[in-house]
A and B are shown apart, each in its own frame.
Chain A
Amino acid sequence: MNKIWLIVEREYLTRVRKMSFILITLLGPIALALGLSVIIYLSLSEDVIHKVLIVDEKAPAFNSISNTQNIKFNYANNMDLQQSKEMFYDSDYSCILYIPKNIEAGNIAILYYKKQPSASVIRGIEDKVEAVVEELKLDQYKIDRKEFYDVKTNFTLNPVKYSETGDEEELDKGATYIGFGFGILIYMFIFLYGVQVMRGVIEEKTNRIVEVIITSVRPFHLMMGKIIGVGLVSLTQIVLWITLTLGIFGIAQATILDNYYSPEKLTEQVQATPEVMEELQAEGAAKSGIMDPNSIINRTNWTVMISLFLFYFFGGYFLYSALFAAVGAAVDNETDTQQFMIPITAPLGIAYIFSAAIIKNPEGPIAFWLSIFPLTSPIIMLVRVALGVGEGGIPIWEVALSMVLLVLGFILVVWIAAKIYRVGILMYGKKPSYKELWKWLRYSNK
């Protein structure tokens, strides 16, 4: 066992010391964090103050419109639309809001602009106008304000699964996007690092050093040492990526985005409009849906999610990298790997393709079977468990079955891979067929 750790140590150290690893590990998060910051900065920088000139043919009804944080309304007292348009480009107004005389009937107003305002600005103006129009109509129909607000309904349909045993489960499909994200991460890393294991095996084989090493250690130990070492490299990279991205993002937030996105600012806003926030929270995902990341993030059970992510990450990685190791052992150079790569990459590809579909239908039969089958479960099950495990989510037994099968699948695959590996690393000069591989499997142990 000591020797396995020597191998793990070598595989790990030689890889993390490589310039390419250091560069990718450092540049990845910088690029990611900068990208995120730029996106947020750009979207926030739209929040320059929009000056809107109101041309009101129903004067003075719209004189009462109040400013918002980034929209300032000015009331054109003695200008008609034509005059306003003439002076538009000489003024600092960014928009003209034209309220026609029959606005209650047509429910339409016109916004003239120089540069197209963002959707949120248009939405803000709409809300303001809508509120005034409502007031007008309330007066017109002589409806009591209190009655109106009591009657006004914001409807939510809440789908709840009623199981045979009488349990009620509330599905939270939005959360599956989080799981999808994790699943894709696993897919990516299995590919990246599985191929590294394969390259490592081919390298040792073409170097011929393998013959020296296996006089000191068992081929199985060599294979496992390599797989574990490379696995730790991938874990290092993931951890560094996440912490660095968050760190850099945090710094970026504190500097360039300071004025827009600080937590204090957010709480200020919350305090300013407590009713609004309450309303929002009450409505939850129903209104904001999956587009409100805060709600999904808050409702995800991160402890379960991250532990399952680690389990499926390592399970999937070990399973596939053992297969990659066997492929590496079977061939002499990388160009010969093609024919053996297809059966390995096919289930990964299937899992990847179906994971997108399973976001929408995480409880269907395809989702179930693919999340049980060890070659696809590392990706698919993560999409599903984002719904939660146990009450209100995926039944515990399904998760347990999937985990047990993954472990069993891993043992079986390693056993097969080790046999191919043991024979393959000493075979040179011929490209084996599947028939040949089958023969290797049946060679007696030792």
Chain B
Amino acid sequence: MNSSPILSIQGVTKRYAQHTALDSISIDVPQNKIFGLLGPNGAGKTSLIRIINQITAPDEGQILFNGEQLSLSHETRIGYLPEERGLYKKMKVGEQALYLARLKGLPKKRAMELLKFWFEKFEITSWWDKKIEELSKGMQQKVQFIVTVLHEPELLILDEPFSGFDPINASLIRDEILRLKENGATVILSTHNMSSVEEICDDIALIYRSKKILSGGVKEVKAARKENIYNVSFSGDKMKFSQALWIDAELLETSTEGKLNVAKVKMLNNKTPNDLLKALIPHVEIHGLHEEIPSMNDVFIQRVNEINKAELEVEAV
């Protein structure tokens, strides 16, 4: 996938009266990927999403959609699931879905066909004539998800897509997101709950205090933050284990899992896991060894700490 990005956000800044919501953010969202827009609450994710959806306009910077200046003509090619879900409570499910689909530019007949397909797929055909207020919150979310994807948008923007779903429905939605990607769509997932999306995201951007602080492929970002820490599970004497270690292998902690002991070892001075095994094998029986890869959450916290530290240093100077 070397094609040009579907969405190119270039130096976007948005200021409100009291604060700057976005501070010259530049992000490229590659075609046909699931892109995670991550950051704590209030970081500026929703402001950015609203700008992409052309609900508000940036004060500075520009956005390209497939290389073209983002304009109103693109809005039918974008699907948006806002964080705060909402539907007309008194309107019937089917009627409402049809209305929203037609607002997105679908002809009535085509919209009906698609709705039928999705309602059958989600097994909610019997809801068609129910009022939204008669549905549970999870059911409403399903309807809203259908409405978001119905017009087969090239770019889907899902703000906190899993909040409000029980685990079964959350996995249903996750499968749908992956299928949409298979069918060629690009998906932007925005969330503050990083662990919920890191397994399905291809790329991410981290936003913190109105600034982008990190971006790239999930694997690369995590790999770059590896600390050469290995988890070794073994049977045998813990004393012997620690005696086998030398100056370049630092024992961080040990624990017991069933009959096995697990030790966390940090390798220093570019030593490899082979060096570790060589040292250990004569003394204990090794059952497993794997490298510890930081979670997105760890990466984020590390990065935030770095920034805060740098700021403190600047202030100190």
A residues lining the B interface (CB < 8 Å): 3, 6-7, 10, 14, 203-204, 207-218, 426, 439, 444, 446
Contacts and interface: CB of A to CB of B under 8 A. Distances in A.
Interface in B57-96: 57, 72, 75-76, 78, 80, 82, 84-91
Given A6-B103, A10-B99, A209 B86 contact: yes
B33 interface: no
A6 B108 CA distance: 11
Interface of B: 17, 50, 53-57, 72, 75-76, 78, 80, 82, 84-91, 99-100, 102-105, 144, 147-148
A191 to B, nearest CB: 23
A14 B50 CA distance: 29
Nearest to B76: A216
Contacts of B105: 216
29 contacts: A6-B99, A6-B102, A6-B103, A7-B103, A10-B99, A14-B88, A14-B91, A204-B88, A207-B87, A207-B88, A208-B82, A208-B86, A211-B55, A211-B82, A211-B86, A212-B82, A212-B144, A212-B148, A213-B100, A213-B103, A214-B55, A215-B53, A215-B75, A216-B100, A426-B50, A426-B55, A439-B17, A444-B57, A446-B57
Nearest to A219: B55
Contact of A212 (B17, B50, B80, B89): B80
B57 A209 contact: no
A208 B80 CA distance: 13
A2 B148 CA distance: 20
B71 to A, nearest CB: 11
Contacts of A7: 103
Contacts of A215: 53-55, 75, 78, 80
Contacts of B50: 426
Contacts of A426: 50, 55-56
Nearest to A13: B95
A164 B57 CA distance: 59
A215 B80 CA distance: 8
Contacts, number: 59
Contacts of B86: 207-212
- Looking at chain B's contact residues, is the secondary structure mostly helix, strand, loop, or mixed? loop
A217 B76 CA distance: 10
Contacts of B17: 439
A216 B54 CA distance: 10
A207 B89 CA distance: 8
Contacts of A214: 55
A14 B89 CA distance: 12
Contacts of B82: 208, 211-212
Contacts of B144: 212
Nearest to B147: A212
Nearest to B151: A216
A29 B20 CA distance: 58
A209 B87 contact: yes
Contacts of A213: 100, 103
B57 A216 contact: no
Contacts of B76: 216
A58 B108 CA distance: 91
Contacts of B104: 216
B103 A216 contact: yes
Find the residue from A10, A218, A426, A439 having the highest chain B CB count within 10 A: A10
A87 B75 CA distance: 95
Contacts of A208: 82, 84-86
Nearest to A207: B86
Contacts of A216: 75-76, 100, 103-105
B197 to A, nearest CB: 21
Contacts of B89: 207
Given A211-B55, A216-B104, 8 more contacts: A10-B99, A14-B88, A211-B84, A212-B100, A215-B55, A216-B100, A216-B105, A446-B57
A315 B72 CA distance: 31
A366 to B, nearest CB: 43
A14 B103 contact: no
Contacts of A446: 56-57
A220 to B, nearest CB: 12
Contacts of B88: 14, 203-204, 207, 209
Nearest to B17: A439
Contacts of A203: 88
B90 A14 contact: yes
A217 B103 contact: yes
A213 B82 CA distance: 11
A239 to B, nearest CB: 25
